[in-house]
Structure 1
Amino acid sequence: MFTLDDTQQQTSRDQAQASLDQAKASLAQEEVNLKFLTIELNRQTGLANANAGIPSTRDQAENSARQSREHIAQLQAQISQMAASLGGADYSLSQRRIVAQTEGSVEDLYFHPGEYVGASTNVVSVLPPASIYVRFFVPETEFASVHLGQKVQVSCDGCKPVEAKITFIASQQEYTPPVIFSVGSREKLVFKAEARAPGGLPLHPGQPVEVRPL
């Protein structure tokens, strides 16, 4: 949907990646170094076994190989920690990219690129298709014939009639709203009702419709 300013998070992520790459390069170099040190240690051991080598030289070769192995173990531990840090940096960066949890149409936009947005502030309004329903008003004289779960037909200009079920009926009557799309309604008192369909109704918010019982 939109992306929050991620300059700081991107920089942290790049630094974590660079540190990890450098540590991996150092590990690869040290592993090559250990191979040469191991070859030298084996050579000095062979000379010592043949009484042709110098003991101190053999000891030095063994000490160098041991230090290299310890260094490799340290680098491997650092790489594990750096990989975890990189994962955390990736997560922080991903949280700057806001993705809607459901499909729907954008109904309102409260901020524009470059504007400051405070924490826990709405940025955009999304209307999922399943949330689209019709609200209509039942005349007092017909209220007794209306019940929850009743099927109704919803139609509008230029659209095919669709079937819906009444999911809400107000318990209190009210006066006819000043803006009501029914030129033939003369009733003063009405009951508000709502009808829905699985997956929502193929209508636009505020679109005038006609509701008839089935």
Structure 2
Amino acid sequence: MSSTERRSYPRHVVIDDGDLEFHLMGPADEAAVLAFAQKLPVHDMLFLPRNIGEAKVLSAWIKEIERGAIVSVLATRGGAVVGCGTVVRDPFSWSPHVGEIRMVISTDVRGIGVGRALSNETFALALSMGLEKLVVQMTVDQTGGIAIFEGLGFRAEALLRDHVKDLSGKTHDIVVLGHNVAQVRAQLEAYGLPEAVG
């Protein structure tokens, strides 16, 4: 994949409770990702456009990866998928310079650094793709995720009230965070620090 040539996989990262391996998701990962997604609480997936716990949705996801519209990186521990970070972009839209980061983490590995490590890796992957702006969406009660992305320089840009419905029909607000990578790069270059981003 030419868009990820600057990042090599697999990649190993040490976290609070051991280590993680990151690798790019492909067709061979479909069954493992489906098993991972089916264990996620539905509330954790409300910001995603579709329920990735459904086999047909996951098959469509794999096709989008093969087409090059989506790049997903998996976090694994002991061979099991514990997280997934995805960068989505549409080069044929009015916003080919914008990428959306989507990320989900297994409930049994929260609080030990998996979310932070995966968000850092997904952010670095997005930067290696040359995107100028990044956005991330999540429900407003996902305060841990919001804090992680704010730590990477993302800032709240929009609040979408009653934007998604859970399985019981209850509506939830979505917060949209954005990061103007091009502007930050320009500022760092002005200070003589271009390598600090990317």
Please report the TM-score for the alignment, with normalisation by the length of structure 1.
0.18
Q: Which has the higher strand share?
A: 2
TM-score norm. by structure 2 comes to 0.20
Q: Could you say which structure has the higher helix fraction? A: 1
